[in-house]
Structure 1
Amino acid sequence: MASKTDRSSPNIWISGFNPFNLDGSGALTEINLNDTLKPKPSLSVIKPCQIEITSTHALVASGCNLYSHSAITGCQNETSFTSAIVQLSASTWHCLVLLENGDLFKYDINEHRSSRLDFLTVENAPELTDRERITHIACGDRVSVAITSGRTVFNIPNKTFTFPRHVRIVKLAVGLEHCLLLTGNGDVYSWGGGLRGQLGNGEITPHQEQPQLIAALAGVKIVDIAAGGWHSGAVSAFGDLYCWGWNSKGQLGHADGRQLKGRVFSLPQLVAFPSGDGEEELCLERVYCGMGHTVVVDSKGVIYFAGNDLDARLDYTKVQRNPSLTGFRRFETGLDGDVKLNLKCGANSIIITRE
């Protein structure tokens, strides 16, 4: 159970794999980033900050500074950039860092080395580069993607696809090797690796080079998407949840006869949330995906998860070789109910921050 704390401090709460505290069981734990990272006085972590947790590291972006903490060695590194960090996305091996001035860097997590990615000047005429800026970034272990203000998709560094002028890109999400994109009118596109059905196109395919509309969701206005590992999720404007891909840990959340461990669903499946007598049907607003778990938040701010029980999975007195596949369960935080929480999933973590 989490504890109450000073709301002005840059604190986070982590459930599951916690690179700052490997002695814990995986229960939700409060972390003060300044106490944990111990940055130089001139480089203190301030709110708001961004955090990514991989299978081995925690990466925290605050202002112009990027902090890397290794769970394996306990070593910490600080890297400063010339402009504030506005977006951060991490895989096991590297992360993408987008700066306020428009520059994009690739940071090698193990070598602690950053390099500027300048593919826009290669792909575009020099006179156009000042007008076209990167607006979205995301990376997985086998894919790194950037989208520009000109609606162009780069599978970095290659220019892959340009959406028509009328399309407004709202969100980009990636798993280990596949990508999802959400547009302003609620359409969802997918591309990348699809051997576990994670593209949602009804096919098992090694690779799909360009974004293609997920036809099974056509006519359903989608308001949020997520990708993690080899599965995907989407929330509709009506508050429904659709999941597809590899159900290796029950992360697709089906609580009926379809809930078969290891089964692949290559088309989006509507997820049923059982309700008791007299209870209102859940109206979901957000979805998040990790390697083997899916997290959703409803309109009242209540959190539910399916797949790996991250607390029990990391507590060797409770761990089960074959997890029970019980659909979505409520996730209790113990935090003040009057404060809006921001969530994110790491590969084997749930990360919570306060607004």
Structure 2
Amino acid sequence: MEDSDSVGGNLASKVVAVAAGEAHTLALTGDGYVYSWGRGMFGRLGTGFESDELFPVRVKFKDPKPEKRLKFVGVAAGAYHSLALAERFLELGSATKSEVQLQVCSVKAGGMMSLAIDNLGTLWMWGNCPQESSSSEGEFSLVSSFTPTPVWDFHGHTVVKVACGNEHVVALVTAGETYKGEDLVCFSWGSNNHGQLGLGDKKNRNRPEIVEVFNQDSFFAVYEVACGAFHTALLTHKKRPSETLESMCWTFGLGENGQLGHGTTQSALSPETVKELPQYVYLISVDCGLFHTSVVSSAGDVWSWGMEKGLGLCPNASFTGTDAGDAIFPLQILCNEDKGSKFQEPVQVVCGAAHTVLVAHGGYKLWSWGRGRSGVLGNGETIDCFSPTLVLWPPLTVDFKQEELNTVDDGDRIAEENSTRVTETEKSSSSAIEETKLLQSKLLVMERYAGILHGSIFGKPLEEQDIPISLHNSGSHDIAKEWDRMLESADRAKLVRLEKFYQNMLEGVKDKLMKRRIQEIVKECLNSSSINKL
């Protein structure tokens, strides 16, 4: 079977990385473009506006070197800000004590801070970062740094991976100078009011300290790290030689909403394994939201735990019934495509404050679920989704001129006849795109109206399976027959709810009829009185 990249040159529609903030999502494609959607407040989407985007839109950057297209290789999202990593070198002689080309290899963000790792393995931090207070020696505080500052504590070692929460940082650092594959040591520092540093206490740390469970002599090799606002998750496997490659998820910190997956709502001051996950699976990605955690296995199984059944939804969400409540153990998130339970070829899972996004099908499909306000799910709607929904990917809007430019070597120019053809294509496609947007807008209004009506009557959001079969098959709809069928299939709880709903409606109608009749009688009396006076 041929690689889909080589067949269609489909790097433009292949997602290689995603990031999720408080209520926005970023995606990076194989051809080096960045897309964003969700809440636009504070300019976090990079569109130049603060308006929300319900579908993925491409972020357009001002390139300081227009002769060579700016290509991106990484994305990160804090609570209210975004980072995009360009494939460029920086000359930073003063920071490295010698003239050397530095290249940032990866970026991370969380809360209101940003992190980067360069090609020398140095960690850089800026924003509201945990540092020692200059006014009071030894006292912990968050210091606002407006420019990237190196963390010199790891001098002589290589920082391989890093994550941060609201006020804490966790880094995976080599035991020696270079990375050998299974020699990573876990360090943490910052705020520790809930035990999110995993150091066995609640004392804050100004400087990095080793999490002893994952020290140099540990039996476990750490390979992934993620931070929620006040909790931390790590993925490990047994160090070789080992007969199996099964992995484990460890969590610590705040646990009051079940986000640790330990079966309790207690916080944990030291790393503990999430024991309810299957033993013989290999977890490839983990991420933490505000109060929930998600993992995905190489086989395509997804588990979540924490607030509101692991969805991350706040308690005031419209998710009611016997299934409501926090998940203190991992719950499997099932793929509803083709009645399957697994997601094909999973790549990465990320968690926003109250939503989750999964990259699957080798990067060609995106699934999202959780809180839907501001369009953060990328499906064109603003309602909460309690099961995975497809993100509109690839986006409907395509810049054909840029796609044409991508096929040409850097520095070359397209022939004049190609430019003319591209311009004509742009004009026709622009008209079609505008018409599509108008139709999408109308459809969105109708869907929201139908959702509101359905929610007020049945107490839950409108889902595809709620649409009558007769409409699917013939386009016609016998409301009397459909009503009888619905009543027949409803359980007692639903019937009681319907009865109360229609009783309230009937009382309202009767009350309005009574008022109208009184108005008519008063009017008749007034008219009669006027005639008698004459």
Tell me if TM exceeds 0.5.
Answer: yes
- The Cα of 1:210 is off from its aligned counterpart by 2.8
Q: Take 2:73 and 2:356, find their aligned partners in 1: how far apart are those partners?
A: 23
In structure 1, the partner of 2:147 is 113
Q: Deviations over 1:151-179 (max 9, x none)?
A: 32111322222344553322111111211
Q: Deviations over 1:46-79 (max 9, x none)?
A: 42432223333222332346xxxxxxxxxxxxxx
Q: Among residues 172, 181, 198, which one is paired with 2:225 in the alignment?
A: 172
Length, aligned pairs only: 295
Q: Among residues 328, 336, 351, which one is paired with 1:289 in the alignment?
A: 351
Larger radius of gyration: 2
Q: Take 1:43 and 1:64, find their aligned partners in 2: how far apart are those partners?
A: 16
Comparing 214-223 and 137-146, the one that deviates more: 214-223
In structure 2, the partner of 1:305 is 368
* C-alpha contact 2:226 2:232 (8 A) present in aligned 1: yes
Q: Take 1:220 and 1:258, find their aligned partners in 2: how far apart are those partners?
A: 31
Q: Take 1:14 and 1:211, find their aligned partners in 2: how far apart are those partners?
A: 34
Comparing 134-143 and 279-288, the one that deviates more: 279-288
State the structure with bigger RCO (CA 8 A, min sep 6), 1 or 2. Answer: 1
SS in 1 for 2:247: coil
**Counterpart AA for 1:179:** T
* C-alpha contact 1:25 1:314 (8 A) present in aligned 2: no
**Counterpart AA for 2:125:** K
SS in 2 for 1:119: helix
Q: How does 1:72-87 map to 2 (within 5 A)?
A: 83-87=102-106
Q: Take 2:251 and 2:30, find their aligned partners in 1: how far apart are those partners?
A: 39
SS in 2 for 1:155: strand
**Counterpart AA for 1:247:** E
In structure 1, the partner of 2:141 is none
* C-alpha contact 1:11 1:30 (8 A) present in aligned 2: no
**Counterpart AA for 1:11:** Y
SS in 2 for 1:202: coil
- Which TM-score applies when normalising by structure 1? 0.70
Q: Deviations over 1:315-353 (max 9, x none)?
A: 9xx76xxx54532212122349xxxxxxxxxxxxxxxxx
The Cα RMSD (Å) is 3.6
Q: How does 1:23-42 map to 2 (within 5 A)?
A: 23-35=50-62, 38=63, 40-41=64-65
Q: Among residues 388, 393, 399, which one is paired with 1:333 in the alignment?
A: 393
* C-alpha contact 2:78 2:113 (8 A) present in aligned 1: no
1:44/1:248 Cα in 2 relative to 1: closer, same or farther (>3 Å)?
farther
**Counterpart AA for 2:188:** N
Q: Among residues 284, 287, 293, which one is paired with 1:223 in the alignment?
A: 284
1:142/1:23 Cα in 2 relative to 1: closer, same or farther (>3 Å)?
closer
**Counterpart AA for 2:277:** L
- Which TM-score applies when normalising by structure 2? 0.49
Q: Take 1:281 and 1:140, find their aligned partners in 2: how far apart are those partners?
A: 31
Q: Take 1:111 and 1:45, find their aligned partners in 2: how far apart are those partners?
A: 31
1:30/1:103 Cα in 2 relative to 1: closer, same or farther (>3 Å)?
same
**Counterpart AA for 1:176:** A
Structure 2, unmatched stretches of 5+, are 1-11, 14-28, 91-99, 129-143, 176-183, 190-207, 238-245, 314-318, 397-534
Q: Among residues 49, 53, 69, which one is paired with 2:73 in the alignment?
A: 49
More helix by share: 2
Aligned: 1:11 with 2:33: yes
Comparing 146-155 and 10-19, the one that deviates more: 10-19
